[in-house]
Amino acid sequence: MILNILQIWWVWIILAVIFFILDLIFARGYLLVTAIAAVIIAIATLLFGKHSWYWYDSSFVVIVIIFVVGLAIYKRWAARHDKLEHHERHHRFIGEKVKLKTPIVNGEGQIKLHDTIWIIKGEDMPSGSTVEITAVDGVILHVKALSADF
């Protein structure tokens, strides 16, 4: 009986390795969840002993369906979240305080944040003034004056 359980266990492990290799080749993620499901069934085989083949197969199918639906939901959420993050990345600057290296003249100026030079709009200020970024309008950052030190 133990030999039979180990043989069944190895079948599921071999299937998991095959699915994992196929996922590496095709890189879609769906075969990876199938490989994970095969590993779960292999572990269940060791823990719960011998059951009929349809118990293993039906459990495998249920686990794969749950994982595939979960992966599809996650991919849809991640794609939507990534698009928002990609297009609105510069909104993270709101609230940052920066010291002006060049003055704001006629309501416009420039600041360097990290590795990018940004156009800023705000009231006229001399260089050396401290400003806070209050809003973003496309690629233009809106600033307001703060005290000299921050």
Closest CA to 96 of 126, 136, 139: 136
Q: What is the pLDDT of residues 42-53, one digit of tens each?
A: 888 888 877 777
Q: Is the dihedral of CA 49, 50, 53, 58 positive or negative?
A: negative
Residue 96: what pLDDT?
87
Task: Tokens for 53, please give them.
Answer: 């083949």
Closest CA to 96 of 72, 123, 130: 130
Q: What is the pLDDT of residues 92-113, one digit of tens each?
A: 788 889 889 889 999 999 988 8
pLDDT, mean over the chain: 83
| Beta-strand runs (E) in the chain | 97-99, 108-113, 116-121, 130-137, 140-145
Average pLDDT over residues 142-148: 82
Contact 97, 132 (CB under 8 A): yes
Residue 122: what pLDDT?
92
Average pLDDT over residues 3-21: 82
Residue 150: what pLDDT?
44
User: pLDDT category, 16, cuts 50, 70, 90?
Assistant: very high
Q: What is the pLDDT of residues 54-104, one digit of tens each?
A: 788 888 899 999 988 988 898 888 777 665 555 566 777 888 898 898 899
pLDDT at 126 over 80: yes
Residue 44: what pLDDT?
86
